[in-house]
Amino acid sequence: MLSSLNRRKLRVLFLTFLLTPLLSQGMTSRSHAQHMEPLQKTMAAEKGSIQLQVKASPGALYQTELTFVNTSLQRALEEATVGDASLEAIPPDTTLQYDKKGQTILLGVTSSGDVVDWTSKRRMQLPPSAQEALQAQVQALRAKHYGEMLTWEEASLVLPKFSSFTVVDVMSGLSFEGQRRAGSHHADVQPLTKTDSATLKRIYGGTWSWDRRAVLVKLNGRTLAASMHGMPHGGDGIPGNDFNGHFCIHFLGSVTHGSRSVDPAHQVMVHRAAGLLNDYVSKLTPWALIDVWISGAHQGDLQLLQVTTGQEQAMHVRSMRRLSKFQEQDTSQLLQYDTSVNVTMTAARASGVTSRRVLFHLERTTVQDRWYIRSAVIQ
């Protein structure tokens, strides 16, 4: 049982906005997963050298880098003026750095080639030719880093039963070999060896888990965007691999075997693995947006919380799951919307699971704009 003091502390879950830097530091020249050295140690000395780095989240260790020389682009960057405020809910997944008179300049770059000074959250105005040149480099780098977005029907043909493939976790960069054993609505997969099972368990911090994670599935020169959980269940089939059962990998539109319904948390991770998280969330209904927020709260995923609220924030619960079904209404002409959701949750400093009610307040500027969760109050 929670004390009365803890209950009072849990009354309201504030969206606590932090001021920590969002853009990572450090670049090399290949895809890898490791801690970064300070930027000043990695800058190339060649004039006009520009370094790009892409990763799914500021905290991700898996990243892909590119260094190229373009003196006219660097000149355009140095002469760029500050433009409009950036409307992105999360920082661009691509960072750009170059040396300006011995000082390292670090900026964000969108997939369309817009350069963002994320400290001021304002766009930099570049000549069209410079923006086009930068866009081509960024799009090529992102295509190398992320996976193809295929429907389950398409992915099932690329990954036939008993095919083996490499699974890469887009956050940690850890990879292992798996084999599709079954699954008609998504892929039922088993690690190939004891070593592969150990790596899968390491991805989840040493404990089997139902948490959804964005992954890349690599087979025959193709890389597919997908989502997995890490809990052994159901039938077995590969003896001696230290994995009693199988785990599931979902693709775009794939459904669970039991409910025959699309799993919202898996679909969010599929879009993250494709580099489309912000685009996907920006088109969601209020109820789907709340599901993403609950997934972020449950898994302690600060990026999911940020993309739903538009602000960087802290999380004060250990777990949260939705209980009640949504009674969706027509919000097409509304600018504000309030609703409540019944959840089970475990507080940050508690071990017991309690039933709670969360009051959500959502807003948007115009009916053409996306929704944001502006407050979430736990009763």
Domain ranges of the chain: 32-145, 152-273, 276-378
- Amino acid identity, position 257: H
Computed over its alpha carbons, how large is the radius of gyration of the chain?
A: 22
Q: What is the pLDDT of residue 85?
A: 85
**CATH topology match: 32-145 vs 276-378:** no
Q: What single-letter DSSP state applies at residue 241?
A: S
Helices 128-145 and 71-79, interaxial angle, to 10°?
110
Instruction: Kindly report whether the global pTM for this prediction surpasses the value 0.85.
Output: yes
CA 164 to chain centre: 25
Q: What is the pLDDT of residue 38?
A: 33
Q: What is the pLDDT of residue 14?
A: 36
Q: What is the pLDDT of residue 46?
A: 66
> Which residue ranges of the chain lie beneath pLDDT 50?
1-30, 33-45
Cβ atoms within 10 Å, residue 193: 15
Instruction: Just give the CATH number of 276-378.
Output: 3.10.450
Hey, what long-range contacts does 355-358 have (CB within 8 A, 24 or more apart)? 355/323, 356/10, 358/13
Q: CATH topology for 152-273?
A: Pnp Oxidase; Chain A (2.30.110)
Q: What is the pLDDT of residue 75?
A: 92
Q: CATH topology for 32-145?
A: Dna Ligase; domain 1 (3.30.1490)
The secondary structure of the chain in percent helix, strand, coil, rounded to multiples of 5, reads 25, 35, 40
Listed residue (332, 274, 331, 321) closest to 297, CA to CA: 321
Q: What is the pLDDT of residue 31?
A: 52
Q: What is the pLDDT of residue 296?
A: 94
CA dihedral 161, 221, 67, 140 (to 10 degrees): -90
